[in-house]
Amino acid sequence: MKQRNIFVKKSETNRITKEVVEDSLNEFLTYLNPKKAIDLLNTFSAVLEEKLGQKIDSAHKINLLIHVGCALERTVINDSLIYREDRKSLDPSILNALNEANEAVRKRMNLAMTEDEICYIHDIVKDLYLENKTPSSL
């Protein structure tokens, strides 16, 4: 069988990512409206990508945005996760980027994740960030 390369336009990839995140959040969220929250989540990822200086691929972005959406929902119901790991091992540049992305959401919606939730999101982003850094930039 002959292998064919299928190219998907970037706009199409973004649309599919948005739909997958929105559909997933419809399953998980009770208080936040996923249709309205998706723009906030995209703001979060755009600020994060800018501050980290790298793009997040679709699969990781879907994972990240679903986690952030659920974290915001937990914040709304005052049931945020508690981070029990050693915070000294957290990468300050990733934390700063996450805090700026969180602040961008807070400015638009007056809702922000707790510091503990940010630490959990850090653990999700850390592996992706380190995986994409070149050895010469470490």
Of the candidates 48, 17, 71, 69, which has an alpha carbon nearest to the alpha carbon of residue 129? 48
Other CB atoms within 10 A of residue 70 CB: 17
Contacts of the segment 18-25: beta carbons below 8 A, 24+ positions apart = 18/42, 20/62, 21/61, 21/62, 21/65, 21/66, 21/69, 24/62, 24/66, 25/66, 25/69, 25/70
CA dist., res. 11 & res. 83, Å (int): 36
Average pLDDT in the 12-19 region?
90
- φ, ψ of residue 115 to 5 degrees: the values are -60, -40
Average pLDDT in the 73-92 region?
97
Rounded to two decimals, what is the model's pTM? Answer: 0.85
CA dist., res. 111 & res. 49, Å (int): 20
Average pLDDT in the 99-108 region?
98
Residue 58 pLDDT exceeds 50: yes
Percent of all residues in the chain with a pLDDT value above 90, rounded to a whole number: 81
- Domain spans in the chain, listed from the N-terminal domain onward: 11-128
Residue 96 pLDDT exceeds 80: yes
